[in-house]
């Protein structure tokens, strides 16, 4: 199947480096990040998983649970984690799904036959507490992800869900945000007491509401 934005993230049972999980139970009421890796003991993935482990406090701050996937088995995962911890100077505490039969990869469309008939592409999904898919990013196997961008998008999604705003190009936490088209400027001035700057009738900015 092909997962699209707004779809409910399919549930599954799987063995992981930390034991068997039910995916939806693992996420609970938190936000979630599910990201796939072509295989264990690969250099790009090693750096990604190490960097993700270093971001643990950032994800806790954002009430977000991380879970990785690779098409190798639990024993390989556990041995690979030792390498990751050693080479990346960190401690991997999140689970890595063992997907030797590629059931989860196929469920989430992580295998693209034109890229590889056996290895997963480097896909990442952000899933909200209602289990809806809010972001899908797919990289080629040769290119590592930019986790600063993933944190930026997570911040944007969480802000958008709490306030009636949108975030502009290159937005970073603390920058001005955009007033959506479905809100009149007159009403915007009432709900955004910090002020509204109208550049064009369709382009209005306001300071970030939660700061």
How far apart are the C-alpha atoms of 147 and 13, rounded to whole Å?
27
Are 79 and 46 in contact by the 8 Å Cβ rule? The answer is no
How far apart are the C-alpha atoms of 65 and 58, rounded to whole Å?
11
Are 34 and 124 in contact by the 8 Å Cβ rule? The answer is yes
Residue of 45, 67, 98, 150 with catalytic role: 45
Q: CA geometry: angle at 145 spanning 141 and 147, to 5°? A: 160
45 is catalytic: yes
Q: CA geometry: angle at 161 spanning 156 and 164, to 5°? A: 95
- DSSP alpha helix (H) spans, 55-166: 56-61, 74-88, 103-107, 147-162
The end-to-end CA distance of the chain, in Å, is 41
Instruction: Kindly list the distances between the CA atom of residue 58 and the CA atoms of 125, 161, 174, in Å, as whole numbers in the listed order.
Output: 17, 19, 16
Are 167 and 157 in contact by the 8 Å Cβ rule? The answer is no
Q: Which residues are catalytic?
A: 45
């Amino acid at each position: 199947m092909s997962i699209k934005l707004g779809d409910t993230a399919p549930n599954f049972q799987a063995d992981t480096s930390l034991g068997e999980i039910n995916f939806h139970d693992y996420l609970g009421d938190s936000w979630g990040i599910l990201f796939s890796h072509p295989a264990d003991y690969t250099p790009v993935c090693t750096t990604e998983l190490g960097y993700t482990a270093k971001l643990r406090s950032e994800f806790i701050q954002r009430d977000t649970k991380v879970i990785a996937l690779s098409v190798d088995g639990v024993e390989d995962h556990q041995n690979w984690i030792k390498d990751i911890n050693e080479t990346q100077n960190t401690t991997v505490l999140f689970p890595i799904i063992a997907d030797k039969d590629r059931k989860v990869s196929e469920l989430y469309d992580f295998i693209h036959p034109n890229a590889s008939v056996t290895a997963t592409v480097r896909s990442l999904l952000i899933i909200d507490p209602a289990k809806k898919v809010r972001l899908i990013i797919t990289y080629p196997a040769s290119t590592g992800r930019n986790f600063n961008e993933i944190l930026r998008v997570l911040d944007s999604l969480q802000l958008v869900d709490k306030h009636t705003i949108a975030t502009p190009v290159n937005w970073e936490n603390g920058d001005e945000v955009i007033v959506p088209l479905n809100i009149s400027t007159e009403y915007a001035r009432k709900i955004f007491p910090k002020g509204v700057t109208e550049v064009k009738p369709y382009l209005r900015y306001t300071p970030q509401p939660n700061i």
